[in-house]
């Protein structure tokens, strides 16, 4: 019988007596990703996967943004003939689907994948191979639906694909099947990342990082991960039901055989409303980081901020029916969902006041990142106010499916999430790349984005009140919607230019940007304690946390823990609440199997669009690949 390989001396060596240079070199060797193609395909470093996630999400932003530009060109004038109704249907569906499933949620998770391990002071994300797998699954799902669009099989029933329109009778062909399977891809990826983030935050925090010393950005990602965990299964079940109705003749949504179209709406919005907060909550984390760093003081009312995050996530699960007021909900139900929809403004409002109080009582430094946060405060409050308006049933039924709703959700999603995200790009770009983005161009970018965004979306409020319905490919001149639509399209063009400015800034700064150093903003959280970009091991020694802003509290020397092995990938596991050191666990090494498993999963998922048997013949190789993935290969980390 085999016996586990004996440990060599190098595998037993700990960091205790090593000098800084030797330690850093040895750890980089142990934790490094091999150069070359194989290295790239087997990578499990959260920074590499996180970077890919971020870049891929921005590519999808670009595609979805271009779809929006085409729509705005079409709508700029009445009776325009730039695109026809069929292509227009595909464009708005691809725009919404891509923005929600392939950009907004993934980009927030991407930032979590990159930043959370650094901010909690550990060496890699929990379950790093699952992390690699999730990236590939996400990538394949996104590619699938865009390739389908290029082949004129783009989804065309809107991003929430209501039945019976999306059902087998009204949408023959493969368009909706591809959409439903894209949901499966992206939700598998998102659920995997949420489990990784939860375990990373609960078990891999640096010693001393008690619950009340966790940075708010990490709290927001933890709360979001829990929301993902309980929201995404609903849309997976729903899209599975939809594809089964279409492919194997089930009747979940078929009224004639006892099914119900509103079941789809309930299932979709049970996911769909928390989804908005899954996008928004991480953004509040970015805002908190930026506000604290550039106010030069800790956050005002930390406990209240954490409570607000948790309360928002809880309440987010009790609002979904406000998307369905127009379906004739019983009055008691309407009142309940109106009340809860208004209630959620309270924790959001509390956060806004705390940020303002922090800025007010601090010494603000108006960097580009902070300018984007100020833009966020204004735009998001505007979106929040229309949100409270829409919570009221009479008003909601009046403006249901009009541009008023389009204006509202772009204010909360772009104002509430994209502005903080752009701030986050300026704030963490130096950590990701080692170079600062240009601040002068950044200010121009922020101003252009603010003006372009408001010009593009504010007129939509009025258009909605004038009665313009969403999802129409054109309108008659007599309606009088022409001038405001033209204004909106001009604003959209300016907003588009602002993204070109960002792209230019990124490309130019990658080459010639000022070298950042470890902590260019003199920030207080742990990701700034290491080099920019961080070494493969993140930290040469695991920091010991004594304060909520550890780097502000320990300006002379960072307290650290010693005793981890250097020749073997080892992470320090701490207790969930007090973060006292508990065990030294080995961490997985690079592996090709997550990629192979993802490819086989993609074959099974895509195959099942064409034959249900693909679930069986496709599932067997996936199972085999997973076994190969988990089978110990003789690395010291396996034992």
Site for other proteins in 61-80 (CB under 8 A): none
For 172: left if phi > 0, alpha if psi spans -120 to 50, otherwise beta; the answer is beta
Which stretch of DSSP H or E encloses residue 359? helix 345-361
8 Å CB contact between 3 and 637: no
| Token pair belonging to 372 | 């984007």
Using alpha carbons only, what angle is made at residue 460 by residues 458 and 463, rounded to the nearest 5 degrees? 130
Which of 564, 595, 606, 609 lies at the binding interface for other proteins (CB under 8 A)? 564
Candidate list 529, 602, 604, 609; residue touching other proteins; CB under 8 A: 529
Q: Residue with structure tokens 């990142």? A: 369
- Binding residue for other proteins (CB under 8 A) from 279, 558, 596, 609? 558
CB 585 within 8 A of CB 34: no
Interaction of residue 266 with other proteins, rule CB under 8 A: yes
Count of chain residues binding other proteins (CB under 8 A): 79
Closer CB to other proteins, 387 or 534, in the complex: 534
Q: Which is nearer to other proteins, 194 or 367 (CB)?
A: 194
- The answer to the question of residue 437 lying near other proteins (CB under 8 A) is no
Residues 278, 259: Cα–Cα separation, whole Å: 30
Tell me if 540 contacts other proteins by CB under 8 A: yes
Q: Is 164 in the site for other proteins (CB under 8 A)?
A: no
Asked, as a colleague might, if the bond just before 164 is cis with ω within 30 of 0, I would say yes
* Shortest Cβ 2–other proteins spacing (Å): 2
| Choice from 70, 143, 195, 378 touching other proteins (CB under 8 A) | 195
395 φ/ψ sector (left φ>0, alpha ψ -120 to 50, else beta): alpha
Asked if 15 and 541 touch (Cβ cutoff 8 Å), the reply is: yes
Please list every residue from 284 through 343 that binds other proteins, using CB under 8 A: none
Give residues with Cβ within 8 angstroms of 424, minimum separation 6: 111, 283, 286, 289, 290, 369
Q: Which is nearer to other proteins, 146 or 253 (CB)?
A: 253
Q: Does 123 bind other proteins (CB under 8 A)?
A: no
In sequence order, the 6+-apart residues with CB closer than 8 A to the CB of 219 are: 285, 305, 306, 309
- Determine, following the binding rule CB under 8 A, whether residue 1 of this chain makes contact with other proteins: yes
Residues 478-497 that bind other proteins (CB under 8 A): none
In the bound state with other proteins, the residue whose beta carbon lies nearer, of 195 and 506, is 195
Kindly tell me which of 469 and 559 has the beta carbon lying closer to other proteins: 559
Closest CA to 457 of 408, 400, 517, 524: 408
**Residue among 573, 596, 609, 625 that touches other proteins (CB under 8 A):** 573
| Separation of alpha carbons 490 and 586, rounded Å | 55
- Of the candidates 9, 20, 37, 150, which one interacts with other proteins according to CB under 8 A? 20
CB nearer other proteins, residue 75 or residue 202: 202
**82 near other proteins, rule: CB under 8 A:** no
Nearest distance in Å: CB 575, other proteins: 8
d(CA 246, CA 610): 11
Quick count: other Cβ atoms within 10 Å of Cβ 478? 8
Among 561, 566, 598, 604, binds other proteins (CB under 8 A): 561
Question: Which residue's entry shows tokens 């490919």?
Answer: 473
Please, which residue, 146 or 252, has the CB nearer to other proteins?
Answer: 252
Distance in angstroms (rounded) separating the CA atoms of residues 137 and 131: 10
CA gyration radius for the chain? 25
Interface residue with other proteins among 10, 16, 339, 522 (CB under 8 A) is 16
Stretch that binds other proteins, among 2-10, 149-157, 160-168, 353-361 (CB under 8 A): 2-10
**Cα dihedral across residues 169, 175, 179, 185: positive or negative:** positive
Q: Rule CB under 8 A: choose which of 148, 241, 487, 579 binds other proteins.
A: 241
Task: Write out the two tokens for 395.
Answer: 């008003």
Give the shortest CB-87-to-other proteins separation in angstroms: 34
Q: Does 582 bind other proteins (CB under 8 A)?
A: yes
Token pair belonging to 194: 């949420």
Tokens found for residue 89 = 């249907």
C-beta closer to other proteins: residue 326 or 620: 620
- Site for other proteins contains 209 (CB under 8 A): no
438 vs 570 by CB, closer to other proteins: 570
Residue ranges in 217-236 that form contacts with other proteins under rule CB under 8 A: 229-230, 232-234, 236
As measured in angstroms, the least distance from the Cβ of 457 to other proteins is 34
Q: Does 257 bind other proteins (CB under 8 A)?
A: yes
């Amino acid at each position: 019988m085999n016996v586990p390989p004996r440990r060599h001396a190098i595998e037993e060596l700990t960091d205790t007596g090593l000098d800084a240079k030797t330690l850093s070199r040895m750890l980089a060797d142990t934790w490094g990703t091999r150069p070359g193609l194989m290295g790239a395909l087997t990578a499990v470093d959260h920074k590499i996967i996180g970077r890919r996630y971020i870049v891929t999400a921005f590519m999808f932003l670009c595609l979805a943004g271009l779809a929006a530009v085409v729509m705005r060109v079409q709508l700029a004038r009445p009776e325009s003939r730039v695109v026809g109704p069929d292509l227009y249907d595909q464009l708005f569906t691809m725009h919404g689907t891509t923005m929600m499933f392939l950009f907004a949620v993934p980009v927030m998770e991407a930032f979590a994948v990159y930043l959370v391990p650094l901010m909690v002071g550990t060496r890699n994300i929990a379950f790093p191979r699952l992390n690699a797998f999730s990236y590939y699954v996400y990538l394949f799902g996104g590619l699938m639906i865009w390739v389908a669009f290029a082949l004129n099989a783009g989804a065309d029933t809107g991003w929430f694909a209501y039945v019976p329109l999306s059902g087998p009778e009204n949408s023959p062909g493969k368009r909706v099947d591809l959409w439903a399977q894209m949901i499966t891809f992206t939700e598998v990826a998102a659920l995997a990342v949420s489990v990784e983030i939860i375990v990373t935050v609960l078990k891999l925090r640096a010693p001393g990082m008690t619950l009340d010393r966790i940075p708010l950005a990490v709290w927001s990602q933890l709360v979001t991960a829990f929301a993902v965990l309980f929201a995404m299964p609903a849309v997976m079940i729903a899209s599975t039901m939809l594809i089964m109705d279409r492919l194997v003749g089930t009747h979940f949504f078929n009224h004639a055989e006892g099914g119900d179209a509103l079941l789809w709406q309930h299932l979709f919005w049970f996911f769909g409303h928390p989804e908005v907060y899954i996008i928004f909550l991480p953004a509040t984390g970015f805002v908190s980081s930026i506000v604290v760093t550039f106010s030069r003081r800790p956050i005002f009312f930390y406990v209240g901020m954490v409570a607000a995050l948790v309360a928002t996530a809880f309440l987010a699960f009790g609002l979904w029916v406000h998307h369905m007021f127009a379906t004739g909900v019983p009055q008691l139900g309407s009142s309940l969902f109106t009340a809860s929809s208004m209630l959620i403004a309270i924790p959001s409002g509390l956060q806004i006041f705390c940020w303002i109080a922090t800025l007010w009582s601090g010494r603000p430094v108006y960097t580009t990142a902070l300018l984007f946060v100020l833009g966020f405060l204004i735009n998001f409050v505007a979106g929040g106010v229309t949100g409270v308006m829409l919570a009221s049933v009479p008003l909601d039924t009046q403006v249901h499916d009009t541009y008023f709703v389009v204006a509202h959700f772009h204010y909360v999603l772009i104002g509430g999430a994209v502005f903080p995200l752009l701030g986050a790009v300026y704030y963490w770009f130096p950590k990701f790349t080692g170079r600062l983005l240009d601040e002068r161009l950044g200010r121009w970018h922020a101003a252009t984005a603010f003006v372009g965004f408001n010009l593009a979306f504010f007129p939509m409020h009025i258009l909605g009140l004038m009665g313009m319905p969403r999802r129409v490919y054109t309108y008659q001149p007599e309606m009088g919607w022409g001038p405001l639509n033209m204004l909106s399209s001009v604003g959209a063009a300016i907003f588009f230019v602002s993204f070109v400015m960002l792209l230019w800034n990124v490309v130019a700064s990658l080459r010639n940007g000022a070298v950042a150093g470890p902590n260019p903003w003199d920030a207080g959280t742990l990701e700034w304690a290491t080099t920019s970009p961080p070494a493969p091991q993140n930290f040469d020694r695991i920091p010991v946390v004594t304060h909520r802003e550890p780097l502000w509290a320990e300006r002379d020397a960072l307290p650290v823990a010693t005793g981890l092995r250097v020749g073997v990938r080892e992470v320090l596991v701490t207790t969930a609440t007090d973060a006292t050191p508990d065990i030294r666990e080995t961490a997985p090494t690079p592996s090709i199997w997550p990629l192979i498993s993802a490819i086989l999963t993609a074959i099974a998922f895509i195959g099942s669009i064409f034959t249900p048997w693909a679930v069986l013949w496709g599932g067997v190789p996936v199972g085999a690949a997973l076994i190969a993935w988990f089978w110990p290969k003789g690395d010291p980390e396996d034992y």
